[in-house]
Amino acid sequence: MNWLWEHFLPRARIRVRITAAVVAAMTAILTCASAVVYWKVAEALSVQVDQDLLAYSDIVTRDVIAGQSLPADDPGLVSQTYTRSGAVLAKSDGGVRTLLSARRAAGAGSSAKQFDLGRLLPPPEQNPYRVRY
């Protein structure tokens, strides 16, 4: 421990050294705490987006199977239907970009898959989507 005090501000008074040590320790603690809070909030938001997406995809699937039109555009909720070759048949919002590539549309099967189009966190410059197909 003497080595630490001899090399850490060797000519400073004990009060300055203790203050500097406390500042360094609190900086490390607050940085770690901030990282944990960010991680937990990001995880909670991701789980909520997954739950909302699952519920919305169930509604869209039910409507498409029943032969109804796609649900009206809701902020943040967009649905699109595709042919096997990847051509867009219908969109619930005419202004949104195509969410699936032709390769992904052709690879769609009976089991649901999902991916993020764009980055959801931290807040991005353009509109990201979590796509379920």
End-to-end CA distance of the chain: 60
pTM metric for this prediction: 0.67
Q: For residue 123, is the peptide bond before it cis, meaning its omega torsion is within 30 degrees of 0?
A: no
**Is 102 a residue whose pLDDT tops 70?**
yes
Question: Which tokens belong to 91?
Answer: 């969109």
Q: Which residues contact 64 (CB under 8 A, 6 or more apart)?
A: 70, 81
Residue 69 neighbours by CB under 8 Å, 6+ apart: 63, 90
Residue from 111, 81, 75 nearest 99 by CA: 81
Asked which of 7-11, 64-68, 101-105, 112-116 is least confident by mean pLDDT, the reply is 7-11
Could you tell me what percent of the chain has a pLDDT over 70? 86
Which one, of 56, 110, 48, lies nearest residue 80 by Cα?
56
Q: What does the pLDDT read at residue 124?
A: 67
Mean pLDDT, residues 86-100: 78
**DSSP class per residue in 2-48:** HHHHHHSSTTS-HHHHHHHHHHHHHHHHHHHHHHHHHHHHHHHHHHH
C-beta of residue 15 within 8 angstroms of C-beta of residue 93? no
